[in-house]
Amino acid sequence: MEFSYINNKRKVIIMKIRMFGYSPESIVDGKGFRFSIFVQGCLLDCPDCHNPESHDLNGGYLMDTEDLIKEISENPLLDGVTFSGGEPFLQPEPLAQIAEAVKKLSLNVWIYSGYTFEDILKKGDEKQLNLLRLADVLVDGPFLKDERSLELKFKGSRNQRLVDVPKSLNAGEAITLEL
């Protein structure tokens, strides 16, 4: 859902995003001081998901992307923005709009997804690929309870990877980031 208007001779497109919630100041959803956006809607239904209430595609609430962008831009302490969920790749267009604005602020973008880097490439959905191209780090793969560890940094289970997205897209294969 989107609408547009003209502001200072530029066309502004306002999109709605279905939200589970957000945290304007997080230190656990990626490296540095982050603004974390938790989208509503997920089809994966991973056992023991830490946000099962975010799965309902019609749950949560709608929010204007411009409101999120404004709040992000007003915090000079942020290192980046994190998209989590729910499943971010179910709402690629509004998240891409936010990511583009975040990049203009010289902030980095992390995405947590139950899909792997390879899944997203193989599917070939152009809107999802556009969102992926805007990411700096993709924490990929479903949460697996049997591989859970509290010793892992920025991920919940050993199967998940921190993928350096720009390097991986250039190489055509997932290249993991070591912190």
- Residue 76 domain boundaries: 17-171
Question: What SS3 class is residue 127?
Answer: helix
pLDDT digits (tens, 9 = 90+) for 81-107: 999 999 999 999 999 999 999 999 999
Burial of 137 (0-12, 13-18, 19+ CB in 10 A): buried
Lowest mean pLDDT among 4-8, 73-77, 91-95, 107-111: 4-8
Decide: pTM greater than 0.85.
yes
Q: Total domain count for the chain?
A: 1
Cβ atoms 110, 74 nearer than 8 A: no
Tokens at residue 62, please? 């709608």
Q: Would you say residue 177 lies in a domain?
A: no
Q: Would you say residue 22 lies in a domain?
A: yes
Q: The CATH number of the domain where 99 resides is what?
A: 3.20.20.70
Q: Would you say residue 147 lies in a domain?
A: yes
Q: Which stretches within 54-113 are classed as H helix?
A: 65-73, 92-104
Q: Would you say residue 32 lies in a domain?
A: yes
Mean pLDDT over each residue of the chain, to the nearest integer: 92
